[in-house]
Amino acid sequence: MFIVECKKGNVTLLVMRPFLHLLGGCPRTRIVFSIWGLEKLSNVSEESPMAMDTVHNYYERLVFNEIKEKYGDNIDENQAADMACIALNRISPRYIRYDIDMSFYMSADEHWEVQKRVTKAVKKAYKKVKE
């Protein structure tokens, strides 16, 4: 896991590399810290985002949105993060590059099944966190 410095215009953000896609990519990045090795990597530079940075679990955004919309007022940030982990571990991952690819090729029934799966996993996660 890497912490990446992302520069967009005159704004600089530090982001965990797997979540770089949530910013819509980043034209200039630089790895500043490795969580695994705990060594500083400020000399490593990346001028353009790698294709691998776009790979993510399709269910992440759906789970995050479900937690925020239905439970956001009843839990703190740590509980929300715990809920996301619990819920995502209950759902088989679907790794994709772009959400639109997954959404475009799914039928209405498949969309309904995905939403039911997410709702059920998040509800169980909420009960687990509140125990």
Tell me the per-residue pLDDT of 34-72, one tens digit each, with 9 for 90 and over: 444 444 444 444 444 567 777 889 999 999 999 999 998
Is the domain of 43 the same as that of 75? no
Domain count, the chain: 2
Is the domain of 65 the same as that of 40? no
Specify the residue for token string 């239905």.
Answer: 70
Closest CA to 20 of 122, 97, 100, 110: 97
Q: What predicted TM-score, i.e. pTM, was given to this entire model?
A: 0.61
**H/E stretch holding 8:** strand 2-8
Is the domain of 90 the same as that of 72? yes
* Neighbouring-strand partners of residue 4: 15, 31
Is the domain of 11 the same as that of 60? no
Q: Residue 30: which domain range? A: 2-51
Tell me the per-residue pLDDT of 85-114, one tens digit each, with 9 for 90 and over: 999 999 999 888 887 777 778 888 998 999
Is the domain of 46 the same as that of 76? no
